[in-house]
């Protein structure tokens, strides 16, 4: 199909009708290595002869001998060959996400959400999915080091005791403990006891993406620090002001669960929520919005004031709002839904905006219904940035003589103007507990390897205060210590294991200790530990500080917005290959960050993708490649933090640029005016947006809710079972016929499924160069389509796994029968038969097959072998692979069912992608069972299959994306 | 000018042409036999173990049930190799000072596992499950042979794909009542074909087409 005939597009180039293939110099064949005809024949002959010899040799040897090593004394409940499941929780920037970890013979290999846990409800995200790889990371710090020399825990404890004896004299006036956000009840208990012992000591907590603004907002609005929770399931109209609530913050999985529950329409009578988003950079929340308004971050303040004034918030004068013509209609919509409306502001907005938003919600009546408040869950209150500033000042003036850093990487993440590392050098005794020997450890004389959350006992609270016991799955791989074990030494206690410390603490809080403990550990939550709700009242003297003065618009200056990276967060996951290679939502960049700008701004600056610019924030500057993101606000540039690491490890070092170098404390989130200068250099970036191209066909279907209700068949078609004129015989009726339904109305492109698939199916990481050649191995990809003008396009996500076509084009072209069809409709891939002709991939219209061009799987590193799922073959070079519908899970469930002499129940088989999905977009099951969930979904009118004209009869089908636009707002995209 | 090739060349050329066909066929047959021979399949090759454990003695003479040691065979894909503790259940009392058992005692004392040589081994891309085979009436002896007559065990069958498929294509020849799967000397009271067909239905064994799907064993 010619470009231009289609409404949808994938890149700005494509929109402009230009070439959309792989980038220059990143051809599948390495340039300069193309042989001429004679060389080609010579190589062919040689390799043919060699393969004959090798095949002969390998066929003439028996398999290498193997040992079986049984236990000496078997542990209780371990049945070799059967996985075990344990509840645990992952601390993520301080807050807990409840998880169920799968352990095979003592190795945790797969993570899923804990259905009992309020922050998870059974779903997870890409970071949780990838945490198992982080556990086995060979680059983790492996020994206690004193000034870089391997030391012992005893020597450290002795050195620390000496310091503390000295500190006792002045009540610990020189002792400082720096943590990340702490919600762990046990750790907070220990820290507070320590502060009682040393009254002059101080505890500072700092997160580069902390909640200072949100807490400041509640202080302005209600006069006290509170945590805000949102009930998206109750909201009919939502306005997100620069808020990416679907991927930011400790409750984002819960937000996705609740939000998507109001976006999936089963019956036509179901109501659907409407989302408005005003934001600078396109986020997945903006992509899900029914109306998205690209505005710069600095404008949000004015928008919030204009809405507040219209809603009648006291003391807010009606500002000029002609710049936002949509505002009145949005406010009318919010007021129409009154208590079922919700306004939410992002963490990068200043406290004033948060306070305004609270006041708006109060006027709308939604407080108590869609917005609720609790006391802060974090154990340590106060402004994190200010307390870090105080600490650096104290370090500078030499008032700090002992600094204990528990996790966190302040040398890398602290605002640049604090010059944290320079001041740190003035502290005589510095000890750092950390997973990696990173930038901070390099500046501390003591480094203590931290135990991963999967290998140590601990506890953590979720966003709503619900406490979880963190249950380890494995003994510490590198004799790491947890924060509570280190604190126990600081407290001068006889060294205790984390388990005992934890039981000591919880022993004071459980009435019937042993049974409460057992239940809490088993369930993964402590029942009744959620923070009680607080009823709030806007303070009588409600007043918000005046809006910051808008900087004069200088054509070479842009607003600069700092965001956490969607994959590696603040940089702490930089050494995780799964996360590095995960295409970031919307940009589809891997392995790098970039400076995101709008297509129009790129024209003005005369920049193309990959052009390096210098970004000046005052006297500090960095060089960054530009990436054009459709829908970005015009006078704004977004840079993500977390890259440019120097001490991350062999995977994370040297990728991207370090944005922290220009992040200053006076503008920690948004720099009003940063100067941009094009350098003329170029940098190659690995972007997967144009890979596995389905040649411009309209594969995503979108309809409005109104259209769906009145004319349901306009985009989809229910499976009618009609013969469509295929030459192949119909697929036989079998008891089970596996199929999948993917709901595009709730999919928000968050990547959880991609990471879950990678973990479940032993999918290798290929590295940046190979991604540039289009060789990434993910079995499920998330296609992103844009629609309309690049200034503010509609954007749609479509996860594409193998379609498991009933008449699969790949099968008929395989010369060796390596890809075949099972009687239940699985398109099987038999690796040991595959000889790597790649005909199947050429013939696949959906481009879902992946080829191991090189030996991507790691067969050498003993520790990385531990993460492999023993139920799935690890593929070697020269083998094709693709989505199997998690056939290992089908087989496991079938064996269980057959041993119990029963049929498989609907919902008994859950694929890895389905289990992870926080939007419940993916449903797998038996399509020959009319009552199964997947059959019911496939009978909806908005069901459709990809490229139906090819008659491949895919088993994976889609439910068309629904949007719920406000009919009064013209489609001004 | 005389002929270059004499009359005898007629015979030689015929012999060479037909002989070549014969040689090719012979090589093919030989190759086929070699890949099925114990040299490659390791069938019937006795394995030397760190402790000369005799199935003949423990199973044949004493009559210990398979499941006493291979505990997970009914529940898991893996039948289970007994931990040292299982050996010591008896051998802390009987033959407690036998020199042959010193490695066992040493393992128990030092908490260092015994390393047994694997006898029945499948390639890593094959996923076999013991529990479902037992559940469907495939006896231990069907694949593992008369272990009660093996002083040191060997691989009874080739474990080639051909051998697996031989049963998966027509399981009725081997299926037994579930109660008899651990018996080593059981004989069907009626013709096996009748019994097998009946049990196939009773145990809801899937059709040979389904049992020979690639994904039944490969994933």
Residue in this structure with the two tokens 């050195």, named with its chain if needed: A159
Q: Is the dihedral of CA A540, A347, A418, A424 positive or negative?
A: positive
CB contact (8 A) between residue B121 and residue A63? yes
Q: Three-state secondary structure along B126-181? A: CCCCHHHHHHCCCCHHHHHCCHHHCCCCEECCCCCHHHHHHHHCCHHHCCCCHHHC
User: Nearest residue of B to residue A902 by CA position?
Assistant: B204
Is residue A105 less than 8 Å (CB to CB) from chain B? no
Taking contacts as CB-CB distances below 8 angstroms, the residues of chain A near B39 are 62
For residue A279, list its beta bridge partners.
A294
Give CA–CA dist A583/A932, Å, rounded.
33
DSSP A417: G
Q: Tell me whether residues B218 and A72 touch, CB distance under 8 A.
A: no
Q: How far apart are CA B176 and CA B196, in angstroms?
A: 7
A828 in contact with B at a CB cutoff of 8 Å? yes
Cα–Cα distance list, A83 to A123, B75, B135 (Å): 20, 12, 20
- How deeply is B192 buried, as exposed, middle or buried, from its count of CB atoms within 10 A (0-12, 13-18, 19+)? middle
| Distance in angstroms (rounded) separating the CA atoms of residues A606 and A599 | 10
- Please report the pLDDT score of residue A274 as a whole number: 93
Query: For residue A673, how far is the Cα from the chain centroid?
Result: 29
Q: Is 80 exceeded by the pLDDT of residue B158?
A: yes
Question: In chain B, which residue's Cα lies nearest the Cα of A830?
Answer: B218
| B215, B216, B217, B218, best to mutate vs chain A, most A CBs in 10 Å | B215
Q: What pLDDT, on a 0 to 100 scale, did the predictor assign at position A725?
A: 65
CB distance A824–B210 less than 8 Å? Answer: yes
Question: In the block, which residue shows the tokens 């303040």?
Answer: A301
Name chain A contacts of B207, Cβ cutoff 8 Å: 823
- From chain A, the residues in CB contact with B51 under 8 A are none
Q: Residue A667 gets which letter from DSSP?
A: B
Q: Which of residues 786-825 of A touch B (CB under 8 A)?
A: 820, 822-824
pLDDT in tens, A182-231: 999 999 999 999 999 999 999 999 999 988 999 999 999 999 999 999 99
| Per-residue model confidence as pLDDT tens digits over A115-154 | 999 999 999 999 999 999 999 999 999 999 998 899 999 9
For position A58, what pLDDT does the model report? 64
Contact A317, A302 (CB under 8 A): no
Torsion angles phi and psi, residue A544, rounded to 5: -115, 145
Q: What is the DSSP letter of A645?
A: -
- Inter-chain contact B75–A63, Cβ cutoff 8 Å? no
Task: Determine the Cα–Cα distance for residues A751 and A757; give it in Å rounded to an integer.
Answer: 10
Token duo for residue A98: 């409840």
| pLDDT, position A902 | 92
Alpha carbons A600 and A555: distance in angstroms, whole number: 13
Q: Least CA distance to A818: which residue of chain B?
A: B214
Q: Is B114 touching A (CB cutoff 8 A)?
A: yes
Q: How many CB pairs under 8 A join A and B?
A: 129
Q: Indicate yes or no: CB of B35 within 8 angstroms of CB of A59.
A: yes
Closest by CA to A211, choosing from A671, A672, A668, A750, is A668
Q: Could you report the predicted ipTM of this complex, rounded to two decimals?
A: 0.90
pLDDT at residue A951 in the model: 86
pLDDT above 90 coverage of chain B, percent: 81
How far, in Å, CA of A912 to CA of A757, rounded? 6
Give chain B positions within 8 Å (CB) of A888.
Answer: 127, 219
Query: In chain A, which stretches have pLDDT less than 70?
Result: 1-6, 19-33, 55-61, 548-555, 694-696, 698, 712-728, 970-973
Does the pTM exceed 0.90?
yes
> Roughly how many angstroms between the first and final C-alpha of chain B, as a whole number?
71
Least Cα distance to A86 among A467, A498, A461, A457 occurs for: A457
Q: Which residue has the tokens 């010579």?
A: A42
Task: Identify which of B80, B118, B218 has the shortest CB distance to residue A80.
Answer: B80
How far is C-alpha B201 from the geometric centre of its chain's CA atoms? 26
- In a mutagenesis test of the B interface, which of A72, A731, A894 is the best target, namely the one with the most B β-carbons within 10 Å? A72
Contact B72 A66 (CB under 8 A): no
Q: How far is A78 from chain B, CA to nearest CA, in Å?
A: 10
Q: Is the pLDDT of residue B5 over 90?
A: no
Contact A873 B124 (CB under 8 A): yes
How far is it, in rounded angstroms, from Cα A110 to Cα B89? 36
The Cα A755–Cα A130 span in angstroms is 7
Q: Residues of A with CB below 8 A from B85's CB?
A: 71-74
Contacts of B116 in chain A (CB under 8 A): 67-70
């Amino acid at each position: 199909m010619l470009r231009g005939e289609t409404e949808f597009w994938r890149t700005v180039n494509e929109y402009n009708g230009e070439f959309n293939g792989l980038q220059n110099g990143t051809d599948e064949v390495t340039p300069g290595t193309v042989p001429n005809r004679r060389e080609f024949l010579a190589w062919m002959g040689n390799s043919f002869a060699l393969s004959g010899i090798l095949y002969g040799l390998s066929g003439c040897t028996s398999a290498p001998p193997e040992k079986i090593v049984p236990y000496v004394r078997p542990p209780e409940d371990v049945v070799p060959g059967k996985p075990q499941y344990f509840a645990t929780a992952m601390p993520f920037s301080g807050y807990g996400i409840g998880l169920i970890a799968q352990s095979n013979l003592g190795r945790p290999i797969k993570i899923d959400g804990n259905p009992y846990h309020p922050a998870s409800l059974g779903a997870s995200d890409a970071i949780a999915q990838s945490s198992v790889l982080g556990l086995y990371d060979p680059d983790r710090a492996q020994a206690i080091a004193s000034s870089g020399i391997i030391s012992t825990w005893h020597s450290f404890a002795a050195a620390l005791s000496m310091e503390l004896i000295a500190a006792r004299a002045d009540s610990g006036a020189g002792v400082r403990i720096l943590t990340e956000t702490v919600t762990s009840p046990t750790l907070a208990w220990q820290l507070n006891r320590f502060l009682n012992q040393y009254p002059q000591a101080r505890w500072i907590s700092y997160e580069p993406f902390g909640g200072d603004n949100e807490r400041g907002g509640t202080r302005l609005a209600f006069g006290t620090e509170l945590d805000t929770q949102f009930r998206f399931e109750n909201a009919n109209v939502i306005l997100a002001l620069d808020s990416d609530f679907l991927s930011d913050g400790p409750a984002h999985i819960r937000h996705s669960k609740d939000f998507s529950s109001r976006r999936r329409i089963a019956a036509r009578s179901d109501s659907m929520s409407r989302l408005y988003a005003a934001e600078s950079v396109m986020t997945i929340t903006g992509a899900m919005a029914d109306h998205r308004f690209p505005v710069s971050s600095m404008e949000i303040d004015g928008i919030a004031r204009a809405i507040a004034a219209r809603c009648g918030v006291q003391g807010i004068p009606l500002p000029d709002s002609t710049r936002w013509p949509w505002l009145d209609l949005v406010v009318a919509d919010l007021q129409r839904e009154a208590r079922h409306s919700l306004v939410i502001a992002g963490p990068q907005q200043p406290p004033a905006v948060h306070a305004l938003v609270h006041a708006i919600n109060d006027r709308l009546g939604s407080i108590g219904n869609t917005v609720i408040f609790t006391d802060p869950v974090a154990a340590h209150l106060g402004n994190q940035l200010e307390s870090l500033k105080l600490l650096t000042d104290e370090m500078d003036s030499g008032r700090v003589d002992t600094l204990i850093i528990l996790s966190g990487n302040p040398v890398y993440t602290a605002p640049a103007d604090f010059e944290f590392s320079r001041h740190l050098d003035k502290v005589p005794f510095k000890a750092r507990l950390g997973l990696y020997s990173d930038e901070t450890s390099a500046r501390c004389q003591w480094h203590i390897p931290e135990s991963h959350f999967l290998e140590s006992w601990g506890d953590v609270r979720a966003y709503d205060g619900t406490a979880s016991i963190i249950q380890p799955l494995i003994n510490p791989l590198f004799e790491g210590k947890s924060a509570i074990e280190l604190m126990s030494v600081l407290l001068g206690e006889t060294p205790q294991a984390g388990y005992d410390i934890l039981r000591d603490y919880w022993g004071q809080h459980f009435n019937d200790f042993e049974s409460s403990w057992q239940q809490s550990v088993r369930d993964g939550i402590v029942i009744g530990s959620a923070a009680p709700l607080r009823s709030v009242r806007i303070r009588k003297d409600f007043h918000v500080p005046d809006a910051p003065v808008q900087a004069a618009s200088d054509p070479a200056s842009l607003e600069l917005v700092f965001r956490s990276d969607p994959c590696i967060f603040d940089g702490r996951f930089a050494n995780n290959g799964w996360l590095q290679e995960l295409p970031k939502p919307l940009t589809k960049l891997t392995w790098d960050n970039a400076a995101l700008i709008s297509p129009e701004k790129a024209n003005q600056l005369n920049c193309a993708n990959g052009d390096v610019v210098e970004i000046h924030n005052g006297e500090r500057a960095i060089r960054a490649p530009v990436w054009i993101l459709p829908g970005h606000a015009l006078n704004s540039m977004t840079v993500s933090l977390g890259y440019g690491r120097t001490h991350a490890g062999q995977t994370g070092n040297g990728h991207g640029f370090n944005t922290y170098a220009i992040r200053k404390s006076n503008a920690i989130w948004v720099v009003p005016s940063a100067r941009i200068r094009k350098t003329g250099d170029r940098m190659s970036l690995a972007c997967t947006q144009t890979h596995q191209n389905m040649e411009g066909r309209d594969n995503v279907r979108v309809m409005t809710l109104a259209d769906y209700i009145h004319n349901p068949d306009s985009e989809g078609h229910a499976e009618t079972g009609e013969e469509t004129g295929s030459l192949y015989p119909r697929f036989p009726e079998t008891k089970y016929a596996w199929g999948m339904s993917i709901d595009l109305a709730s999919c928000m492109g968050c990547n959880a499924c991609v990471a879950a698939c990678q973990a479940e199916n032993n999918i290798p990481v290929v590295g940046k160069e190979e991604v540039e050649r289009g060789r990434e191995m993910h079995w499920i990809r998330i296609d992103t389509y844009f629609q309309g003008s690049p200034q503010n396009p509609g954007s749609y996500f479509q996860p594409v796994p193998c379609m498991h076509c009933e008449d699969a084009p790949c099968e008929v072209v395989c010369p060796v029968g390596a890809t075949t069809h099972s009687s239940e409709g699985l398109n099987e891939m038999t690796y040991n038969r595959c000889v790597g002709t790649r005909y199947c991939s050429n013939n696949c219209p959906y481009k879902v097959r992946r080829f191991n061009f090189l030996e991507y799987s790691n067969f050498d590193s003993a520790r990385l072998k531990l993460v492999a799922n023993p139920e799935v073959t690890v593929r070697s070079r020269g083998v094709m692979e693709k989505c199997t519908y998690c056939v290992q899970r089908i087989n496991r469930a079938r064996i269980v069912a057959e041993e119990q002499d029963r049929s498989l129940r609907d919902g008994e088989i859950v694929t890895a992608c389905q289990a992870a999905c926080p939007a419940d977009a993916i449903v797998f099951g038996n399509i020959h069972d009319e009552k199964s969930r997947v059959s019911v979904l496939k009978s909806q009118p908005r069901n459709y299959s990809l490229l139906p004209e090819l008659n491949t009869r895919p088993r994976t089908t889609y439910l068309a994306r629904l949007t719920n636009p406000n009919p009064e707002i013209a489609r001004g995209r | 000018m005389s002929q270059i090739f004499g009359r005898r060349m007629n015979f030689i050329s015929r012999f060479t042409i037909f002989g070549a066909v014969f040689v090719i066929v012979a090589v093919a047959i030989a190759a086929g036999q070699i890949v099925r021979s114990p040299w490659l399949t390791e069938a019937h090759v006795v394995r030397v173990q760190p402790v000369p454990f005799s199935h003949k003695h423990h199973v044949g003479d004493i009559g210990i049930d398979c499941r006493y040691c291979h505990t997970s065979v009914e529940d898991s894909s893996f039948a289970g190799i007994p931990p040292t503790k299982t050996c010591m259940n008896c051998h802390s009392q009987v033959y407690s000072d036998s020199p042959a058992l010193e490695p066992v005692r040493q393992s128990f004392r030092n908490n260092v596992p015994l390393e047994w040589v694997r006898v029945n081994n499948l390639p890593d891309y094959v996923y076999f499950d013991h529990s479902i085979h037992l559940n469907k009436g495939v006896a231990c002896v069907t694949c593992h042979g008369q272990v009660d007559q093996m002083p040191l065990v060997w691989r009874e069958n080739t474990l080639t794909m051909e051998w697996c498929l031989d049963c998966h294509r027509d399981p009725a020849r081997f299926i037994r009542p579930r109660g008899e799967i651990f018996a080593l000397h059981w004989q069907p009271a009626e013709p096996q074909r009748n019994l097998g067909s009946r049990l196939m239905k009773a145990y809801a064994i899937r059709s040979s087409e389904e049992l020979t799907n690639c994904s039944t064993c490969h994933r």
